Amino acid sequence: MSDITAVKDRDGETLQIVAPGRSLGRGELLAANTSFTSESTGTEAVYIYCNSVIHVAEGSVVTDADAPVDARSGIYLRSNRGAKISVKLMEGEDPATVWVAEVK
């Protein structure tokens, strides 16, 4: 399972989120068996937007066992600095585009 949690810092405090920052990439998710992996993040939080429900994992591999999240209104997630974020469509979802950005 992924080490990605909510929008908390390492001490459990709420992150001071301002806005999405540098883009880490955009990918087309055509079916549940396709995935997208972002560039490495330079921050400890990421913003993800996708007009679908997706599975999210830290690293370059994402499976159906990884956290499913509803990113249709955009989500902020904590991640480890230098990590890549991988996403794939949840089974049964329509093709979608996903955007991943650092949080500034």
Summarize pLDDT for 8-55 with one digit per residue, the tens. 666 777 666 567 789 999 999 998 788 999 999 999 999 999 999 999
Q: Tens digit of pLDDT for each residue in 51-97? A: 999 999 999 999 999 989 999 989 999 999 999 999 999 999 999 99
Question: pLDDT-based confidence at 1, cuts 50/70/90?
Answer: very low
**Is-contact 87 53, C-beta < 8 A?**
no
For residue 11, what pLDDT is reported? 76
Between CA 87 and CA 95, with CA 91 as vertex, the angle to 5 degrees is 65
- Asked whether residue 100 carries a pLDDT value surpassing 70, the answer given is yes
Q: What is the CATH number of domain 20-103?
A: 2.60.120.10
For residue 32, what pLDDT is reported? 77
DSSP code, position 72: T
For residue 96, what pLDDT is reported? 94
